[in-house]
Amino acid sequence: MMTSLNSTRLIEAYLQNKLSPIQRLLFEARLIVNPVLRKDLYFQEKSYRLVKLYHRKKLKEELEDLFQRICNNPDNVAFQHNINQIFKSKKP
């Protein structure tokens, strides 16, 4: 059974804390009595987590690539030295 667009929007509003307290309470009551809605909520939460993890992984890869390009470029020796000095001076 396909999730209706209204249910998807309601789940999204719930996950983003955009429902009023009364709407939230009603939604949570619906979750208790509606196993399909609970399943839809579970899969939408899981989808959001996967997207977030994917984004973090891609960002980490981009930062690592940038770091390698900076460290492996001989023109950046002065920059590398300045960065090292900043972090050395922060130690207690």
> Domains in the chain: how many in total?
1
pLDDT at 1: 44
Q: What angle do CA 73, 74, 78 make, to 5 degrees?
A: 105
| Under-70 pLDDT residues of the chain | 1-3, 89-92
pLDDT at 14: 97
Q: So what's the pLDDT on residue 38?
A: 96
Residue 91 pLDDT: 55
The four Cα atoms 28, 31, 33, 35 give a dihedral, to 10 degrees, of: -170
Q: Which residue in this structure is represented by tokens 């929007």?
A: 9
Which residues constitute the domain of residue 58? 5-89
| Structural contact between residues 43 and 11, judged by C-beta atoms closer than 8 angstroms | no
